[in-house]
Amino acid sequence: MREDRQRLDKWLWFARFAKTRTLAAKLVTGGFVRVNGQRTDNAAKAVAVGDVVTLALPRATLVVRIESLGQRRGPAPEARQLYADLNRDNPALVSDGDSG
């Protein structure tokens, strides 16, 4: 894989969205992850800086933009530097489920 790209499951694990890389891969293959608005079920999909990742988790939907590719799974403050939370910038991107 090119240096400016990283596997999606690996990036999710580095960014601490999953406790293990296996769980990160299951999130992707289960259809809970979109990259740039496109649903993907391929854990090996290459992601790059600037891609927007949407995660449909049980209690929340997270929308983040990749700011950096990880080199290791470090502490939480280091992991937060890998992405920019777009939910804070524009809360209208996320539906609350009560408006229907």
Side chain identity at 11, as an amino acid letter? Answer: W
Q: What is the pLDDT of residue 58?
A: 85
Give me the residues of the chain with pLDDT under 50, please: 99-100
pLDDT tens-digit profile of 67-95?
999 999 999 999 999 999 998 655 555 55
What pLDDT is attached to residue 3? 81
Confidence at residue 2, expressed as pLDDT on a 0 to 100 scale: 78
Residue 50 and residue 52: Cα distance in Å, rounded? 6
CB 93 within 8 A of CB 75: no
Q: Any idea which residue has 């939907």 for tokens?
A: 61
Give residue for tokens 């700011």: 67
pLDDT for res 89: 57
Q: Which of 21, 3, 1 is nearest to 68 (CA)?
A: 3
Domain boundaries, the chain: 6-92
Q: Which CATH number fits domain 6-92: 3.40.50.2000, 3.10.290.10, 3.30.365.10, 3.40.50.300?
A: 3.10.290.10
How many CA atoms are closer than 13 Å to the CA of 91, on its beta-carbon side?
2
